[in-house]
Amino acid sequence: MDTRLKAVELSEETSKILLRMGTEIDEIYRKFRELRLLEDDLAFQSALLKVEHAFFMVVQSLNILREHLHLIGVSAKKGEAY
């Protein structure tokens, strides 16, 4: 069964969702960053910084996922698998 067309459609749909998610995550990240910059307690600043780092890691993972989704389209056009 050739699933290339469905995989490409699903990857395109997923890419759009990831873009929206990335925008929302970026907004939340900025709010946490602002809170950290306003915070006086160094220990709590550290906790907020760890949350910022976790958001950064999530965004990096989303970027990797978007790249692999893009490769599905490339692979389907070439008829190759990566």
- 2-60 pLDDT, tens per residue? 899 999 999 999 999 999 999 999 999 999 999 999 999 999 999 999 999 999 999 99
Q: Is the pTM of this model over 0.75?
A: yes
Question: Residue 8 corresponds to which tokens in the numbers above?
Answer: 């490409």
Please check whether residue 61 is in contact with residue 50, taking contact to mean a CB–CB distance below 8 angstroms.
Answer: no
- pLDDT above 70: residue 82: no
pLDDT for the residue 81: 53
Q: Which amino acid is residue 5, in one-letter code?
A: L
Q: Token pair for residue 33? A: 């960053």
Q: Which residue, among 1, 3, 2, 15, has the nearest Cα to 71 in the 3D structure?
A: 15
State both tokens at 11: 């990857």
- What is the structure's pLDDT at 34? 98
